[in-house]
């Protein structure tokens, strides 16, 4: 076994491998791949996987080993070589994931599973080999965690379908605890439709059965795929691709399905179609051993400006446009109430702690700018004319929090927020809204 040092050509070689696998899978929809495990420990695949894991950073798993520790003390070359040897010799054993609960609003949390870095490396290598095989089968309605696809494209599909078609009803669906309720047996059955390599299937089963460590207590995992693992998004898409396939083949006449991971909507022309679509979803979910969250799922009437729905952080609603010939209703998208609340909470989290008073204003700017730029890129690029009205409110909240920070730091009480805004702007503070402050403060809801 000869491990190859990282080089620029690994990315090219990996792309060639993925292209070959994709074309082979696309050419024959019934082909099953029996030699994928050997692709996982290929030197170019392992090094490309390591570069991606390293770029993603992330926290340590249950063993406490961090990326920095591997780079500075263990040695990247040694780490990748040792992992490669374990996979080749079949001595690799995944460790339990570290459970961390992430706040998601409404006093609820989302369980996040953090694998150890070695597991992330092997999962990334396996994903490189598996992803092109299943990409050949994935449907056009799926946008989540796929190459060259994004949430913005999902929203654009909704806009195009509603504004250029006859859509008056929307089935907004929420799946109860999706990642925690994936059936291992049924997931592996779906994987086996394309993969017959027993070692690869055994590897996937090991990850699913690795267990969870929470508060130093080990828990077995008989069901579910840990949200946070490198391979989990791909497995989640494989599982729900069954829904996409059934809908495309048998029920596309009822409406247009748009799915981003476990978030999905169905855009229908008639109420009868929407009601039938709900029954179809319940039946399919039953076969997948999933259930629809009836508290969060709803049927929305899009006619004129009656109702709207939240999807991927945006609130979508038909709003009026005035023309010479009259009023025209068009679907518009802007940050949802929940998204606005999260943005305000994030700003407070950065600026409120008393320890921040020891920070210089430049440190505060450097901390806030990446966050603000992320919001601007996501929320400001879908429907700028409406979204920036809301992002202006975020800018106002940021300035308010910075004014409190500045006055506490300098023990002042009456420094005007406008003056504070000028100080931080001179230091390079970015703005969530691209249109400045001369827009009308009118907000549609």
145 assigned to some structural domain = no
Tell me: the pLDDT tens digits for 39-75?
999 999 999 999 999 999 889 999 999 999 999 999 9
At residue 106, the pLDDT reads 62
- Give 360's DSSP letter: -
User: Using CA atoms, how far apart are residues 380 and 389, in angstroms rounded to an integer?
Assistant: 10
* Residue 157 structure tokens: 């599909």
Q: Which domain holds residue 223?
A: 4-140+183-234
CA distances from 352 to 21, 344, 346, 419, 431 (A): 51, 11, 10, 20, 19
Indicate if 223 and 103 belong to the same structural domain: yes
Tell me: the pLDDT tens digits for 290-317?
999 999 999 999 987 788 999 999 999 9
128 assigned to some structural domain = yes
257 assigned to some structural domain = no
Give me the phi and psi of 257, to 5 degrees please.
Answer: -90, 130
At residue 413, the pLDDT reads 67
Tell me: the pLDDT tens digits for 236-288?
999 999 999 999 999 999 999 999 999 999 999 999 999 999 999 999 999 99
Q: Which stretches in the chain have pLDDT values below 50?
A: 1-6, 437-445
104 assigned to some structural domain = yes
CA distances from 174 to 105, 159, 187, 266, 294 (A): 16, 20, 20, 12, 8
- Give 211's DSSP letter: -
Tell me: the pLDDT tens digits for 426-435?
999 999 987 5
Greatest alpha-carbon pair distance for the chain in Å reads: 74
User: Using CA atoms, how far apart are residues 266 and 255, in angstroms rounded to an integer?
Assistant: 6
- Give 252's DSSP letter: G
173 assigned to some structural domain = no
17 assigned to some structural domain = yes
Indicate if 76 and 219 belong to the same structural domain: yes
Indicate if 80 and 225 belong to the same structural domain: yes
pTM above 0.85, yes or no: yes
Helix (H) or strand (E) holding 320: strand 314-323
Indicate if 216 and 342 belong to the same structural domain: no
Structural domains counted in the chain: 2
At residue 410, the pLDDT reads 85
244 assigned to some structural domain = no
| Nearest of 137, 171, 141 to residue 154 by alpha carbon | 141
At residue 16, the pLDDT reads 96
Q: Write down which residue in 234, 265, 300 finishes a domain.
A: 234
Alpha-helical regions (H) of 209-231: none
DSSP β-ladder status, 169-174 and 263-268: antiparallel
* Residue 396 structure tokens: 């106002």
Helix (H) or strand (E) holding 367: helix 361-379
443 assigned to some structural domain = no
Helix (H) or strand (E) holding 404: helix 384-409
Indicate if 340 and 220 belong to the same structural domain: no
């Amino acid at each position: 076994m000869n491990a190859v040092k990282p080089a620029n050509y690994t990315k090219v070689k990996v792309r060639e491998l993925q292209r070959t696998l994709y074309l082979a899978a696309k050419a024959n929809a019934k082909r099953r791949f029996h030699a994928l495990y050997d692709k996982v420990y290929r030197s170019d695949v392992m090094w490309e996987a390591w570069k991606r894991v390293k770029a993603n950073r992330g926290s340590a798993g249950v063993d406490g080993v961090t990326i920095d520790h591997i780079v500075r003390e263990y040695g990247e070359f040694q780490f990748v070589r040792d992992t490669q040897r374990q996979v080749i010799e079949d001595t690799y054993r995944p460790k339990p994931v570290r459970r961390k609960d992430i706040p998601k609003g409404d006093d609820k949390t989302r369980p996040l599973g953090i694998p150890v870095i070695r597991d992330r490396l092997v999962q990334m290598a396996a994903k490189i080999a598996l992803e092109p095989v299943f990409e050949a089968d994935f449907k056009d309605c799926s946008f989540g965690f796929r190459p060259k696809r994004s949430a913005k494209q999902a929203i654009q599909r909704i806009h195009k379908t509603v504004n250029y078609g006859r859509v008056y009803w929307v089935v907004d669906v929420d799946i109860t605890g999706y990642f925690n309720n994936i059936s291992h047996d049924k997931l592996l059955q779906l994987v086996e439709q394309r993969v017959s390599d027993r070692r690869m299937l055994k590897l996937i089963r090991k990850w699913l059965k690795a267990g969870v460590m929470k508060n130093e207590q080990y828990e077995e995992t008989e069901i579910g795929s840990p949200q946070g693992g490198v391979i989990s998004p791909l497995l989640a898409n494989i599982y729900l691709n069954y829904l996409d396939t059934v809908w495309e083949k048998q029920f596309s006449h009822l409406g247009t399905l748009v799915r981003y991971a476990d978030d999905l909507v169905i855009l229908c022309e008639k109420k009868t179609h929407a009601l039938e679509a709900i029954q179809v979803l319940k039946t399919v979910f039953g076969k997948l051993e999933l259930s629809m969250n009836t508290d969060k799922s709803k049927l929305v009437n899009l006619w004129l400006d009656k109702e709207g729905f939240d999807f991927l952080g945006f609130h979508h609603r038909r709003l009026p446009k005035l023309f010479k010939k009259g009023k025209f209703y068009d679907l518009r998208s802007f940050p949802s109430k929940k998204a606005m609340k999260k943005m305000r909470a994030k700003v407070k989290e950065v600026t409120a702690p008393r320890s921040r008073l020891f920070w210089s204003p430049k440190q505060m700017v450097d901390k806030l700018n990446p966050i603000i730029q992320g919001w601007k890129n996501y929320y400001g690029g879908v429907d700028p004319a409406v979204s920036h009205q809301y992002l202006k409110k975020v800018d106002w909240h940021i300035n308010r929090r910075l004014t409190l920070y500045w006055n506490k730091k300098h023990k002042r009480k009456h420094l005007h927020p406008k003056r504070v805004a000028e100080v931080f702007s001179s230091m390079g503070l970015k703005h969530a809204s691209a249109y400045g402050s001369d827009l009308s403060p009118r907000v549609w809801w």
